[in-house]
């Protein structure tokens, strides 16, 4: 199976890059499954129903979230009727939406997508390791699922690496999101799980985390109230990871970094072209 995961869409540049490039990539690489983190898709803060529809329309099979899940309050309502939009599974019981979903690919394969959020330098939610364990127990790779994708939305690389090893052999891919800067440590772990500490963002990299850079820079220089953070407006770059899984085990055979756009050195699975 061929899987593409893309990091946090930030504002219009990220949405445009996805809408412009993903339909062709899906065809060219014969992708079976595409998952994108959309927690910053609405101007950098959360996601709206129409933006979620737009991302799914462009070719995503599922959209994951993070600490910005409910910045747009309408997400509290529409997430209940959109099974392909998931928020971290370790939010407290009673939180709207779900933390995992199973999608069926065009070829009839079942892909479990799980979203969890780390607790270091983020809101302390329930234990993400226990939450991930529960979701994978309920839908095991090789039995109920033909592939398993885990989006570990976290700030600390240690917590993300620990999650990768904790789930090694039980997931096809464990990928970090949230920092908006891609890491270069993509690899297949010893028991067959593809891993990347952070997917980076889909957005304008001439920015601070996808936001217009002037105000963030000012906030580091002066500790006085300033203006609001606004998403940057330049051309967007797609960032994430591509994985090829073994059809019999669902584990990863190969993993590639994906970076397509004007600001970073480009990378993609050339073997798929
Ligand atoms: Fe983000
Ligand atoms: Fe985040």
Residue 208 binned pLDDT confidence (cut-offs 50, 70, 90):
very high
Residue 55 and residue 63 in contact, taking contact as beta carbons nearer than 8 Å: yes
Q: What does the pLDDT average to over 75-89?
A: 98
The mean predicted confidence, pLDDT, of the chain is 98
Q: What does the pLDDT average to over 15-19?
A: 98
pLDDT of residue 213: 97
> What is the whole-number distance in angstroms between the Cα of residue 174 and the centre of ligand 2?
16
Residue 73 binned pLDDT confidence (cut-offs 50, 70, 90):
very high
Q: Which residues contact 93 (CB under 8 A, 6 or more apart)?
A: none
Q: Give the C-alpha distances (Å, rounded to integers) separating 148 from 133, 140, 154.
A: 12, 8, 19
pLDDT digits (tens, 9 = 90+) for 1-15: 999 999 999 999 999
Q: What does the pLDDT average to over 197-220?
A: 97
Helix residue ranges, H only, 29-105: 49-58, 75-78
Give the active site residues: 68
| Closest ligand (CA of 210) | 1
> What is the whole-number distance in angstroms between the Cα of residue 262 and the centre of ligand 2?
23
DSSP state of 231: B
> What is the whole-number distance in angstroms between the Cα of residue 26 and the centre of ligand 2?
26
pLDDT digits (tens, 9 = 90+) for 236-245: 999 999 999 9
Which of 13-22, 159-168, 216-225 is predicted with the least confidence, judged by mean pLDDT? Answer: 216-225
pLDDT digits (tens, 9 = 90+) for 169-186: 999 999 999 999 999 999
| Closest ligand (CA of 40) | 1
pLDDT digits (tens, 9 = 90+) for 110-128: 999 999 999 999 999 999 9
Q: Give the C-alpha distances (Å, rounded to integers) separating 34 from 68, 159, 211, 232.
A: 21, 24, 25, 25
Which residue, chain included where needed, has tokens 């999608």? 103
In 3D, which of 145, 135, 125 has the Cα closest to residue 166? 135
pLDDT of residue 260: 98
Q: Which residues contact 43 (CB under 8 A, 6 or more apart)?
A: 11, 12, 230, 231
Q: What does the pLDDT average to over 52-62?
A: 98
pLDDT of residue 144: 98
| Closest ligand (CA of 11) | 1
Reduced to 3 states (helix: H, G, I; strand: E, B; else coil), residue 115 is strand
Residue 41 and residue 15 in contact, taking contact as beta carbons nearer than 8 Å: yes
What are the residues facing 187 on neighbouring strands? Answer: 195
In 3D, which of 160, 98, 103 has the Cα closest to residue 135? 98
Reduced to 3 states (helix: H, G, I; strand: E, B; else coil), residue 85 is strand
pLDDT of residue 119: 98
> What is the whole-number distance in angstroms between the Cα of residue 253 and the centre of ligand 1?
28
pLDDT of residue 58: 98
> What is the whole-number distance in angstroms between the Cα of residue 111 and the centre of ligand 1?
23
Residue 234 binned pLDDT confidence (cut-offs 50, 70, 90):
very high
Reduced to 3 states (helix: H, G, I; strand: E, B; else coil), residue 121 is coil
Q: What is the largest CA-CA distance in the chain?
A: 58
């Amino acid at each position: 199976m061929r899987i593409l995961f893309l990091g946090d869409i930030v504002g219009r540049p990220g949405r445009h890059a996805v809408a412009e490039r993903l339909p062709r990539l899906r065809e060219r690489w014969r992708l079976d499954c595409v998952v994108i983190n959309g927690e910053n898709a609405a101007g950098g803060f959360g996601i709206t129903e129409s933006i979620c529809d737009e991302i799914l329309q462009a070719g995503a099979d599922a959209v994951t979230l993070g600490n910005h899940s409910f910045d747009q309050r309408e997400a509290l309502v529409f997430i209940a009727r959109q099974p392909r939009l998931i928020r971290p599974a370790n939010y407290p019981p009673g939180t709207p939406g779900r933390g995992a979903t199973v999608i069926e690919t065009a070829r009839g394969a079942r892909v479990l997508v799980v979203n969890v959020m780390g607790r270091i330098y983020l809101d302390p939610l329930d234990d993400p390791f226990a939450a991930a364990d529960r979701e994978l127990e309920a839908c095991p790779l090789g039995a109920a699922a033909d592939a398993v994708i885990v989006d570990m939305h976290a700030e600390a690389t240690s917590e993300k690496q620990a999650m990768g090893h904790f789930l090694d052999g039980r997931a096809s891919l464990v990928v970090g999101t949230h920092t908006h800067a891609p890491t270069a440590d993509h690899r297949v772990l010893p028991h067959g799980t593809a891993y990347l500490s952070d997917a980076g963002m889909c957005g304008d990299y001439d920015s601070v985390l996808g936001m217009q850079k002037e105000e963030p820079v000012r906030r580091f220089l002066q500790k006085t109230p300033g203006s609001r953070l606004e998403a940057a407006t330049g051309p967007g770059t797609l960032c994430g990871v591509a994985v090829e899984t073994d059809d019999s085990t669902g584990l990863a055979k190969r993993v590639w970094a994906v970076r397509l756009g004007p600001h970073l050195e480009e990378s993609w699975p050339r073997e798929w072209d």
